[in-house]
């Protein structure tokens, strides 16, 4: 799908909001063994300048990321859009989707920074699911936690470019967007339909 400028959000905070809400990314980089991708939970800094993540030491990408250029992609909901859902004639099928690309240089974190990342991740997501009291690493044997921490490597990517794409029928008239959102809701794609409604509410339309 070509990222038409119509699908770039005008709200500068929206891409960061999606990264934090989804919290999981695909990390891409070139290696001597060819292109590689890893999948990891992520932590976006408050000022949106860095993205932290960790990988298993055995991951094919982990040993090549320190100092490397990387691309992180956070993907939201997506779904096929049938041309039959439009009232206007001469339409073609398409795909609505949400994706945020972040490009930058990655570096390996020391152990202390890795532990802080793990604590931040667990605190964020324990709060989301409402466990009371929340899980913390204090509930683990320090020796076992240490052994498990030794099996992963933490990284931080300094973000030099953001490329968000929210392809949510903004190039269609309001009545057509409503029809598509309703059809997607009926097909079980409620999250995507909700995003279309939210985007319209923010004035993200052309």
User: How many Cβ atoms from other residues are within 10 Å of residue 42's Cβ?
Assistant: 22
**Number of helices (H), then strands (E), in the chain:** 5, 6
CA 28, CA 196: separation in Å to the nearest integer? 28
Written as six digits, the tokens of 87 are 């009232």
58-80 as b/e: b if 16+ CB within 10 A = ebebbebbeeeebbbbbbbbbbe
Contacts of 134 by beta carbon, 8 Å cutoff, 6+ apart: 122, 123, 126, 127
CA 51, CA 22: separation in Å to the nearest integer? 13
- Please state whether the peptide bond connecting residue 133 to the residue before it is cis, i.e. omega within 30 degrees of 0: yes
Percent of the chain with pLDDT over 90: 87
The answer to whether 98 touches 3, Cβ cutoff 8 Å, is no
Query: How high is the pLDDT of residue 206?
Result: 40
Query: How high is the pLDDT of residue 4?
Result: 82
Mean pLDDT of 166-191: 95
Mean pLDDT across the chain, nearest whole number? 93
Place of tokens 């802080």: 116
What is the reported pTM? 0.91
69-81 vs 50-56, strand pairing mode: unpaired
Residue range 192-203, pLDDT digits in tens: 999 998 877 655
Residue range 43-68, pLDDT digits in tens: 999 999 999 999 999 999 999 999 99
Domains of the chain: 5-172 (2.30.110.10)
Mean pLDDT of 85-99: 95
- Give the Å distances, CA to CA, from 66 to 38, 56, 70, 108, 159: 14, 14, 10, 5, 15
Check whether 2 has a pLDDT greater than 70: no
CA 160, CA 197: separation in Å to the nearest integer? 30
Q: First CA to last CA across the chain, in angstroms?
A: 19
């Amino acid at each position: 799908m070509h990222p038409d400028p119509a699908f770039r959000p005008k709200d500068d905070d929206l891409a960061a909001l999606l990264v934090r809400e989804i919290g999981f990314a695909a990390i891409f980089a070139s290696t001597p063994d060819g292109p590689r991708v890893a999948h990891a939970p992520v932590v976006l800094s408050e000022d949106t300048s860095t993205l932290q993540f960790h990988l298993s030491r055995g991951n094919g990408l982990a040993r090549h990321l320190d100092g490397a250029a990387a691309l992180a992609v956070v993907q939201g909901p997506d779904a096929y859009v049938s041309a039959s859902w439009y009232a206007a004639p001469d339409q073609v099928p398409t795909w609505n989707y949400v994706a945020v690309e972040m490009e930058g240089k990655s570096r390996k974190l020391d152990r202390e920074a890795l532990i802080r990342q793990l604590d931040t991740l667990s605190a964020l997501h324990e709060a989301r699911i409402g466990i009371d009291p929340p899980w913390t690493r204090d509930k683990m044997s320090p020796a076992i936690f240490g052994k498990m921490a030794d099996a992963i490597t933490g990284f931080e990517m300094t973000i030099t470019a953001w490329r968000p794409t929210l392809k949510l029928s903004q190039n269609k008239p309001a009545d057509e967007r409503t029809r598509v959102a309703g059809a997607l809701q009926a097909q079980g794609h409620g999250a995507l339909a909700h995003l279309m409604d939210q985007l319209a509410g923010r004035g993200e339309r052309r």
